[in-house]
Chains A and B, each alone.
Chain A
Amino acid sequence: MHPAFAPARTFSETIGAPISFQAIGKRYGGVPALHEFSLDIAAGEFVTFLGPSGSGKTTALNILAGFIEPSAGDVLIDGVSITRLPTEKRNVGMVFQSYSLFPHMDVRDNVAFPLRMRGVPKAERHARAEQALAMVRLAGYGDRKPQELSGGQRQRVACARAVVFEPRVLLMDEPLGALDLKLREAMQDEIREVQRRIGCTVIYVTHDQGEALTMSDRIVVMNEGRIEQIGTPAAIYDNPSNAFVAQFVGETNFLTAALARGRLTFAGVDAPAPARLPEGWRGRMALRPEHFTRVVAETGGAPTLSGRIDDIAFHGGSYRYVVETEKAGRVIVQEQRRHGSDGPVVGAPVTLKFSLERAAFLEG
C-alpha cells in the first residue's frame, strides 16, 4: 500500500526516508548553478543547506522537489530514483518562505489539501487536519481564512499542511525568512519539536548561519554551486575547512602564519607549532572571537596580541569589542561578563591571550 493511503497514525513512528543526491549538475545557459552535487542524507536526519544567495542551495532543494530538472545526475529517495517522477508523485512535504497558503480556502481545507489529493474521505481528512493543527498549537483555527492570521500563525499552518500526510521527507525553503527575530527563534524550536515527533527527514534551506547552527544535525555549507563543507554544527564551527566557511559561519579573525623549524610565526609572535601541522606550512589561522581572553600581565606562555580597545558592544551576558592590534590589524573579541571583574574600556591598552589548540589552520 502506498504510504499516503495508510490509515491515520499518531505522529510518533519514525517514517523518515534516506535521500541521496548523486553528482547533480544544473546549468542555466552556460552558467552552472549546481556542480557535481553529491550528498547522502540518513533517514530522519535534519540537514541544513547553508549559503549566500546564488550558492545553489535552493536549486538543490527545487531539484529534489521536482520544480527544476537537473542537467546531470540522479536523486534517490529511499533508494528509488525520483528524477523522472513528476512533483506531485514524489510524496514530499514542503514549506515556503512566502507561506503559500491557498487564499480562498480556510485553514482546515488548506491543511487537509494534501489528504484530499490522496483521496482521503472528508471526515477523516478533517480529523487529521485538526490533529496536525493541534500539533502546531493552532487547534480550533480551522474556520479562519489565512488572511486573518499573523505571519507566524500562517507559517505554522503551512507546516501543519506539509506534514499532515506524514511525508517521509520534509523540505523547508527559508521558512522563517519573513518573520521577525523573536518569532524566528521560537519557531526554530517548534520546527525541531515537530520533526522529532514525526521523524521525517528534513532538508532546511537558509542563509542564516545562526539558524543552521541551532537546528541542524548536519550542515552543508554551499557557495557558487559547490559544497564547501559538510559536518555537524560543532565540527563546522570549530574546524572550518576553508576561509569561506570560517567567514560565513560565525565570526572569524584571520591571522597569516607560517611554520618553520617547529616554530609557528604570526603577527610578530613566535610560538611552538601544534603537532597537527606539517613542516613548511603557511596559511591563515582562524580564531573565533571567544577564543581570546583579556589578560592583565602574566600569560603563562600562551601567545598574545596587544593593542587598544576601539569599540564595545554590550550583549547582556557578554561584551563584544574590537581591538586595534599592533601587528594583526583589527581583532573581534567576545568576552563573558564575570561578576566582580572590570569590563573592557574604550581606549584602554589590552593584551589578548589565546590557545593555538582551538585555532583552525587554513591553506592559502
Chain B
Amino acid sequence: MSPRLVRIGLGLWFCAIVLFLLFPLVFLIPLSFNESEILSFPPTTWSLRWYRVLFLDTSWSNALWLSVKIGVLVTILSLFIGTASALAIVRHRLPGAGLLYGLSIAPLIVPSIVIALGMFMLFARLQWLESLTTLVFAHTVVAVPYVIVVVSAALRNLDETIERAARVLGADPWRTFLLVTLPALRPAILAGAMFAFFASFDDLVITLFVSGAMETLPLRIWNDLNLRLDPTVAAASCVMVAMSMIGLGIAEFARSAGLRRLRMENTDG
C-alpha cells in the first residue's frame, strides 16, 4: 500500500472514531434547539426556547448555580490539598512516598459507586447529609487526585536547583515557594483546577447518594428524565458540554504551554 493510501485510511479511521465518540452529541445538539415539546428527532422547527427555560426556570437555574458554586469551592479546596500533597510527596522525600501517592490517587481507580456508598454510610451515621459542605467534601475526594497527578508530574519535571538558587540567594522557604515554585507550577495548577472543577461539575453518582434534597445540574437532569423529559434536558446537557469543552481546552492549553516552556529551558538557546 502506498503511503498516501495509508494516510487516507488512517484519516478515515480517525474520523470514524471521533464520530463514534461524539455520537451522543449528534443527537443532543439538534434536540436542544428544537421548538417541539417532545424529544423528537430530527427537529422540525428551530428555537432557543429550552435555553430560555433553562436560565429562567428557577429549578433549572438554581441547579446550575449550585453546581457552579460547588465546583468552584471544590476546585479551591482541591488545589490547596492537592498542591500541598504533591509538594510533600515529590519534594520532601517522605518515607513511603510511593505508597502515599498510590493511595492519594486511589479515588481515580476505585469505582465511584463504591466511594458513593461508603460516603453515604459515613455521612448518614454522622447525620451529615443534605448540606453544601457535605457535597463539597464528597466531590473534593474525587477531585483532589487530578490535582495531585498533574501538579506532582510538573514538580518532578521542575529542576530542584532553581529552588535551591532562590534559597541561596536569600529567599526563605515560603518566599521560594511563592516566587519561584508556584509560578513554575502555574500551568499545571490551572490544568489541575479545570480537571477538579469538572470532576465535581459532572458528578452524578456520588451526588445521588449524599445530596439529599439538594439538586445539582446533573441531578436535575436525572430527576427530569424520571419525571417528564422535555428538551430542557438537552439544552442543559449542551451547556455542560460547552463548559467542559472550554474548561478542558484551557487545561490542555495550559498543560502543553507548560511542557513547551520546560522543553525550552532544557535546551540551550
Contact = CB atoms under 8 A, between A and B. Distances in A.
Please say whether chains A and B are actual partners in one complex.
yes
Interface of A: 4, 65-67, 86-88, 90-94, 96, 98, 100-104, 113-114, 117-118, 146-151, 153-154, 161-162, 165, 171, 178
A162 B171 CA distance: 13
A98 B165 CA distance: 10
A88 B172 contact: yes
A103 B169 contact: no
Contacts of B168: 65-67, 87-88, 90, 92-94, 171
20 contacts: A65-B164, A65-B168, A67-B168, A86-B167, A88-B168, A93-B168, A93-B169, A94-B165, A94-B168, A96-B164, A101-B165, A102-B162, A102-B166, A103-B261, A113-B170, A118-B170, A148-B269, A150-B268, A162-B169, A165-B170
Contacts of A165: 169-170
The winner among B165, B179, B186 for most chain A CB atoms within 10 A is: B165
Nearest to A162: B169
A147 B269 contact: yes
Central interface residue in A94, A100, A118, A165, by most chain B CB within 10 Å: A100
Interface in B189-225: none
B2 interface: no
A101 B169 CA distance: 12
Contacts of B170: 4, 88, 91, 113-114, 117-118, 165
A113 B264 CA distance: 22
B57 interface: no
B37 interface: no
A98 B166 CA distance: 14
Contacts of A150: 268-269
A87 B167 contact: yes
A104 B162 contact: no
B169 A113 contact: yes
B39 to A, nearest CB: 50
Given A147-B265, A151-B268, A154-B269, A98 B159 contact: yes
Nearest to B264: A147
A151 B269 contact: yes
A-B pairs with the 3 shortest C-beta distances? A117-B170, A151-B268, A100-B165
B91 interface: no
B261 A117 contact: no
Interface of B: 159, 161-162, 164-172, 175, 179-180, 183-184, 186, 261, 264-265, 268-269
Contacts of B180: 102
A104 B187 CA distance: 12
B167 to A, nearest CB: 4
B161 A96 contact: yes
B269 A86 contact: no
A271 B162 CA distance: 59
A150 B162 CA distance: 18
B169 A161 contact: yes
A103 B265 contact: yes
A88 B171 contact: yes
Contacts of A100: 159, 161-162, 164-165
Contacts of A146: 265
Nearest to B180: A102
B177 to A, nearest CB: 13
A91 B102 CA distance: 40
B172 to A, nearest CB: 5
A96 B179 CA distance: 19
A103 B184 contact: yes
Greatest chain A CB density within 10 A among B164, B166, B169, B180 is at B169
Given A67-B164, A103-B265, A114 B169 contact: yes
A101 to B, nearest CB: 8
A4 B170 CA distance: 10
A13 B161 CA distance: 30
Contacts of A118: 170
B169 A94 contact: yes
Nearest to B167: A87
Given A102-B180, A104-B183, A178 B268 contact: yes
B179 to A, nearest CB: 8
Contacts of B179: 102, 113
A178 B180 CA distance: 23
A86 B164 CA distance: 12
Contacts of B171: 88, 113, 117
A68 to B, nearest CB: 11
A87 B161 CA distance: 13
B111 to A, nearest CB: 40
A323 B170 CA distance: 56
B161 A88 contact: no
A6 B4 CA distance: 71
Nearest to A180: B268
Contacts of B269: 147-151, 153-154
Contacts of A101: 162, 165
